[in-house]
Amino acid sequence: MTTGDPANGVRSTQPGVPGADQATASTAAESPAAPHGSTATSADGGFGSGQRPAAAGYGPGSAAGGYPTGQAAANGGYAPAQSAAPGGYGSSATPAAGYGSGQGPAGYGSGQVPPVGFGGTVPPSGGEPPTPSHPSSGGGRSGGRLAAGALILALLAGGVGGAVGAAVANNSSETATVTTSLDQPAASSSDAGSAAAGSVEAVAAKVLPSVVQIDVTGQTGSGEGSGVIISSDGLILTNAHVAVGAGAGASLEVILSDGTRTPAQLVAADTNFDLAVIRVQGQNNLTPIQFGTSADLVVGQPVVAVGSPLGLAGTVTTGIVSALNRPVSASGDNSNQSTVLDAIQTDAAINPGNSGGALVDMNGNLVGINSAIATVSAGSPYGGQSQSGSIGVGFAIPVDQARAIAQQLIDNGQVTMAVLGVEVQSGGPETQTAGATVAGVTPGGAAEQAGIPNGAVITRLDNRIIDSPNALIAAVRSYQPGASVAVTYTDQGGAQHTVQVTLGSAQSGGR
């Protein structure tokens, strides 16, 4: 059965793309992620149910420093049934700095309180401090791990404490100068004014004023996304699934980087390219983003993503260009080629709400519009459980394409796109060739005029490898109507041909 949009000029009659049937892309759009399920109630730092940790994250019933139930911390030395100082000692043991009960170092007798750093029994000369007893078990495996960690810390603290205490005892007649960081003036963590060119700080300072949050409320739902300012008088470029995803007549509100909220109206949108332009009223001094080019991007190049993931406006994340010319079905359904992106792949964190936001280079120039993220379904070969949110595989529309589409939406309210004039399906086992199999040729279209026959398997468009119907659709849409391209195909007899094709045009949509 033939699927897709006939107007696109390249359609699919067979769902699925080889090697991509499990990991699908979903739009990085509007709703916050739900919290993960848990059977434990956590306190500060993430503890299990029934635990009440003190500072630094200790096991059940512990006081500061990781002590078992019933012990509390005091200052200095300790006697039986007294509390233990920070460092994490076992049940009924009361040493500070590794000493046993009842005795004190440097001439301290039973029942006396030694100076800071001393506990009870003096260790043998030159020996290690006695090993404290383990605290009583509790809290399962995680509790045991915490207790073990506390004991290791206790041994280290005991050795240091003993050495410090001995120094104090042997030099009690000397007066030491005490300094504290609390008396020091606060040092600046950064200085945005002196951020080095090409640094993330400099990029963020340049780009943040040009990126907005968009809140959408409509009859079919509500959500949020991001947008990029492209004119000082209020034109904003975003994704179509942000601007029109809530249905016709949805209300749009833009939140500027300074927190100003202002209503916006739709100028035009095209769902095939997943791009839209909206306009805010009453603004004449906005900061337009600086356009770069996606033509000279290279894999491994550092990039920065800016947007409002989960409603967190002005979020900046970093990564690299992971791949180029990645065909992505933004609907998440590979059998539906109505929205296929010729995408930049990046590992910069992109989450729901980032859609329509900026992907920029290290000069702060726009190179892409963040649009989609990959997800993994439960039971897929990529993971045993479903995963959503950022998994390091995000996609952006190349800026060269986005800029051309935006200009058409502003000028004409609709988009004219390039078409090859074929219907395609995946290359099957009978072809022994990966590519896009021509299942139909449009009479009078570009492919027919160039002599591309029905049943041919298209494997290359100019220098781009075509290994699936989506790859062919994305590649054709990256050109302008009237462009001349070299198409390489294998005919049904196994012979390979390369022909020059002048791409036709078709109305994509828009409103």
Q: What's the mean pLDDT in 83-102?
A: 41
pTM equals 0.64
**Which pLDDT score is estimated for 446?**
95
- When the pLDDT of each residue in the chain is averaged and rounded to a whole number, the result is 73
Tokens 């702060």 — which residue? Answer: 364
5-16: pLDDT as tens digits: 433 454 443 333
Q: Which residue has the higher pLDDT, 173 or 49?
A: 173
Rounded Cα–Cα distance for residues 370 and 28 (Å): 8
Measured between alpha carbons, how far is residue 277 from residues 202, 282, 404, 414, 444 in Å?
Answer: 27, 17, 12, 11, 34
| Residue of 12, 101, 226, 274 marked active site | 274
Q: What's the mean pLDDT in 202-213?
A: 97
How would residue 258 be classed by pLDDT, with cut points 50, 70 and 90?
A: very high
- 35: which 2 tokens? 């919290």
Q: Which of 40-49, 429-438, 500-509 has the lowest mean pLDDT?
A: 40-49
**Which pLDDT score is estimated for 57?**
40
Q: What's the mean pLDDT in 217-228?
A: 90
Q: Which residue has the higher pLDDT, 401 or 124?
A: 401
**Which pLDDT score is estimated for 385?**
62
Every domain of the chain and the residues it spans: 15-32+197-412, 44-170, 416-509
Give yes or no for residue 97 having a pLDDT over 50: no
Residue 128, classed as helix, strand or coil, is coil
Strands 10-12 and 422-426: parallel
**Which pLDDT score is estimated for 338?**
64
Rounded Cα–Cα distance for residues 450 and 2 (Å): 23
Q: Which of 201-210, 220-229, 332-341, 449-458 has the lowest mean pLDDT?
A: 332-341
Q: What's the mean pLDDT in 386-401?
A: 86
Residue 142, CB-side half-sphere exposure with 13 Å CA sphere: 14
Q: Which of 72-81, 147-156, 188-197, 293-302 has the lowest mean pLDDT?
A: 147-156
Number of other residues whose CB lies within 10 A of the CB of residue 175? 7
469-501: pLDDT as tens digits: 999 999 999 999 999 999 999 999 999 999 999
Residue 7, classed as helix, strand or coil, is helix
- Are 487 and 452 contacting, i.e. CB atoms less than 8 angstroms apart? yes
**Which pLDDT score is estimated for 327?**
92
Give yes or no for residue 313 having a pLDDT over 70: yes
Long-range CB contacts (within 8 A, 24+) of 193-198: 197/363, 198/362, 198/363
How would residue 414 be classed by pLDDT, with cut points 50, 70 and 90?
A: very high
- 90: which 2 tokens? 């076992």
- Are 368 and 350 contacting, i.e. CB atoms less than 8 angstroms apart? no
- Are 60 and 52 contacting, i.e. CB atoms less than 8 angstroms apart? yes
How would residue 138 be classed by pLDDT, with cut points 50, 70 and 90?
A: very low
> Which residue type, as a one-letter code, is found at position 470?
N
Residue 457, classed as helix, strand or coil, is strand
Rounded Cα–Cα distance for residues 23 and 28 (Å): 15
Q: What's the mean pLDDT in 216-220?
A: 88
Q: Which residue has the higher pLDDT, 240 or 170?
A: 240
- Catalytic status, residue 274: yes
Give yes or no for residue 112 having a pLDDT over 60: no
Rounded Cα–Cα distance for residues 288 and 285 (Å): 9
> Which residue type, as a one-letter code, is found at position 369?
I
Rounded Cα–Cα distance for residues 58 and 56 (Å): 6
- Catalytic status, residue 497: no
Residue 438, classed as helix, strand or coil, is strand
Same fold, 15-32+197-412 and 416-509: no
* In the chain, % of residues over pLDDT 70: 59
Give yes or no for residue 201 having a pLDDT over 50: yes
**Which pLDDT score is estimated for 473?**
92
Fold for 15-32+197-412, please state it: Thrombin, subunit H (2.40.10)
Give yes or no for residue 190 having a pLDDT over 80: no
How would residue 2 be classed by pLDDT, with cut points 50, 70 and 90?
A: very low
**Which pLDDT score is estimated for 33?**
38
Q: Which of 171-180, 197-206, 240-249 has the lowest mean pLDDT?
A: 171-180
Q: Which residue has the higher pLDDT, 217 or 101?
A: 217
Q: What's the mean pLDDT in 250-276?
A: 95
Residue 383, classed as helix, strand or coil, is strand
DSSP secondary structure letters along 152-172: HHHHHHHHHHHHHHHHHHHTT
* In the chain, % of residues over pLDDT 90: 47
- Catalytic status, residue 241: yes
Give yes or no for residue 171 having a pLDDT over 60: no
Q: What's the mean pLDDT in 282-310?
A: 96
| Residue of 241, 257, 426, 468 marked active site | 241
| Selection from 369, 61, 364 nearest residue 239 by Cα | 369
Q: What's the mean pLDDT in 391-411?
A: 95
| Selection from 270, 246, 247, 338 nearest residue 510 by Cα | 270
| Residue of 83, 329, 338, 355 marked active site | 355
CATH of the domain spanning 416-509: 2.30.42.10
